[in-house]
Each structure stands twice: as structure tokens, then as C-alpha cells.
Amino acid sequence: MRFARHWTQQGPRLAVLDTEDHLVDLPGPGGLPDLLAEEGRLADAATTALRTRRSVTPLATAELMAPLDPPTVRDFSTFPEHTAGIVKTLDPAGGIPPEFWEIPTFYFSNPYATIGPNDDVPVPPGAKRFDYELEVAAVVGAPGRDLSVEDATSHIAGFVVMNDFSARDVQFHEMRMRLGPAKGKDTATALGAFFVTADELAERRSGASFDLTMEVRVNGELLGSDRLDNMAWSFEALAAYASRGTWIRPGDLLGSGTCQGGCLAEMWGRHGYDFHRPLQPGDTVTTSVDLLGGTQNRVIAGAEPHVIQPWSQP
């Protein structure tokens, strides 16, 4: 099944997509994390909605929102060729660090930065090298702790397209402190229109992931493409690692990390900064992934940064 959230006169409503591209609102209140928290509740609500069809909206006219407000966002690094390109941005002679093959590393991103598939994206304050990142995120269904990779399969409810917009100059500046990215990733993370249940992808299983083509365009120009099954770590491995020593809960996002060719920073590392200029107000970034849908976001001017200084310094 495919689910989307749209704005109505009664506020945000979660809906199931029917075979004729109509959104059929689910009965009662509750967002996607709430419905995932009780096994079978989401499927039952969708079945009831499709049978009664009390509120139906053509997809073409719906005001689409992000399909969920995730409680947490963990963004991993699973595509080795992307990692190799990013390393070259900072060290032209560098290669994939050995730790890439030891742990599926991640950083926590900001759930408050979640935006919809067609929302405008402001340039982060002070950013000069604004970038996109084409990814797919797994959505946690059942809660779990200290899961094995095998057990984690039943804890992944479905998938969404994710575009992790990134202020590269801000990111690389702050990471000189030997901590993960923070403000460089803090302004906007666009989610695709649809939450697609895991069973919809079963026939496309391939290697660690799924045989799905991923593409990203800026102002209509194709700048990057890859396949999701080029991941070196499976989504089950991401869920298992995320749950190590703690809980993962319904609605948590586990990002795949950027695919090969899925961001400008990687391409700058491979081909130099002349490959393509950073994103600017007026640009439109479009992502697409087979079966999952995509995003289309327009970049707009953002706020100017306020001056912040230390209380004292040497």
C-alpha cells in the first residue's frame, strides 16, 4: 500500500492511495507513527477507508505534506562510491576509510527540519555552498532494542524518498571540531509524498537492498543517478545497529545516506568545483526513485545569520 498526508480544511489527514490515483482519507485521527505503533492498525484503517470512501481527493489536486513527522532521524552512510567521492573533496588522495566496512555509521539529523515533497527550501543562514542529497529512508514500524539483523526485518514498516539538503561550507567548518555535522544539515530534509509499505518492494529485492533506480535533477538537468541496491549495508543492518543499546520506535527514520552521484559535494570531489555551481534561490531540485516517488523543491532566499561571539577568547 501507498500512503500520503495532505492538508484539508480539518487539518492534516493521512490517506491511502487507491488504484485510480485518489487519496482516500483514513478514519479517525492519528498520524503514521501512531498507526504503526499497533500491529495491523494501519492496514485495517486503509481497508476501512477504501471500503467506505467517505472522503476522497484526487491526487493531482491534493496539497501534499511529508507523510509523517519522524520522532528521530538517523542518517547513515552506506554507498561506498559516494563515500569515496566525498573523501576526495577534502583529500584528493584519500580513499574509503576502513571504518566504513566495520560499522554502518550515522549521525542524528533534525526532525524539526522535515518538509514536504513540494515545499520551498530556504538557503541556510550564511551558507554559500548549498547542496542536495538523494536518499531513501526506512521507516520503523514495531519498536525494538538490541535487534539482530535477522530480527530487524519485521521492524521495518516501509520506505520514503529523502532529500537531505546540506550547507557544505557550514558543515565542513563545524566538522573541524571532530564532531558530526549539525548546522550544516539543520534547515531542511524533504520527504517524498508517499510512505510505501515494505511488501510493495518485495519483488524488487536485490543484494543488500532493492533494484530501484534513483535520479536527481536541478532545473530539469540530470546530475546524478544510481541504484538503491548499490548499498553496502542493508536496511536491516541499519535498524540493528540503530537499536544497539537503545530503542528504535514507530516512525523513526533510517536514511540510506546519499547514493553515488547523489549530491554536488561528491561530484566536486571527483570533478572539481566547476562541475556545477551550488544551489541558489530560484533553483528547483527534483528527485525520483522507482516505486517510491520523489520530491520537487524550489530553493528560496533564507535568513541572514546573527553575529554570535564567545564570551571570552585568548
> 112 is written with which cell numbers?
524539526
The pLDDT-based confidence of 93 (bands split at 50, 70, 90) is: confident
**What is the average per-residue pLDDT within 8-33?**
95
Helix axes 264-271, 80-90, angle to 10 degrees: 60
Is residue 28 scored above 90 in pLDDT?
Answer: no
> 125 is written with which cell numbers?
543562514
Q: Quick one: how far is CA 115 from the chain centroid?
A: 10
- Domain locations in the chain? 2-65, 73-300
Report pLDDT for 313: 86
For the chain, give percent helix, strand, coil, nearest 5: 25, 30, 40
The pLDDT-based confidence of 200 (bands split at 50, 70, 90) is: very high
Can you tell me which residue has the cell 580513499? Answer: 95
Is residue 288 scored above 90 in pLDDT?
Answer: yes
Is residue 170 scored above 90 in pLDDT?
Answer: yes
- The residue type found at 132 is Y
DSSP letter at 112 equals: G
Cα–Cα dist 242/238, whole Å:
6
pLDDT tens, 244-263? 999 999 999 999 999 999 99
pLDDT tens, 107-149? 999 999 999 999 999 999 999 999 999 999 999 999 999 999 9
Q: Under a CB-based contact definition with an 8 Å cutoff, are residues 130 and 168 in contact?
A: yes
State in words which class domain 73-300 has. Answer: alpha beta
> Chain-wide mean pLDDT for the chain?
96
State what percent of residues in the chain have pLDDT above 70. Answer: 100
pTM: 0.96
Cα–Cα dist 89/140, whole Å:
33
Report pLDDT for 30: 86
Is residue 90 scored above 90 in pLDDT?
Answer: no
Of 230, 192, 225, 226, the C-alpha closest to 208 is 230
Report pLDDT for 314: 85
Query: What does the DSSP assignment read for 217-228?
Result: EETTEEEEEEEG
